[in-house]
Amino acid sequence: MHLIVGLGNPGPKYQGNRHNIGFMAVDEIVRRHGFSPWRKRFQGETAEGMLAGVKVLALKPMTYMNESGRAVGEAMRFFNIDPAQLIVLYDELDLEPGRLRIKLGGGAAGHNGIRSLIAHCGPHFVRVRLGIGHPGDKALVQPHVLSDFAKSDRTWLDPLVAAVADHMPLLVQGEEGSFQNKVHLALHPVPDKPAKKGQD
């Protein structure tokens, strides 16, 4: 079994926040792939489904971002899930809006949700970093991540979340490079080359 976790904060107050892009991505995975309805479990909300023939549990921790690892650790222990089968989607300040990077292991890089996961689950899990951009000043980071996406952001946010959901089966199969390439191509299609004119 694989565990796919979206990070965010619970409740309507935070629903549209940049910090909640992980929740948004997991919601779209569950919707597009016909997972079971969400149910309260493991200090969070879970839904079950299949991706690429593999059983998957989707989880949104309801512990608030800084304690995300409590919920994830509980689910991992219950199902005896190896950290290599844990995929975590979350907001990344150091990537331009709409960009995506895959990373296996490493530190928390200042992200409190990831810091909590490392404390409870160890560092060796797959991270799907979803770019939200940096406000340019360290003092503005907290208001930036805890404010809602602007209406204009939907032009890149909706396609990003859709592409992540569409191609998530590749990531479950361990094809990180293919997943990243397919998402990139979905967001930045290569224009068709004009056909060469034939000679008369």
Give catalytic residue positions: 19
Cα 175 from Cα 170, distance rounded (Å): 5
The packing angle between helices 176-187 and 154-172, to 10°, is 160
Cα 47 from Cα 93, distance rounded (Å): 28
Burial 63-102 (b: 16+ CB within 10 A, else e): bbbebbbbbbbbbbeeeebebebbbbbbbbbebebbbbee
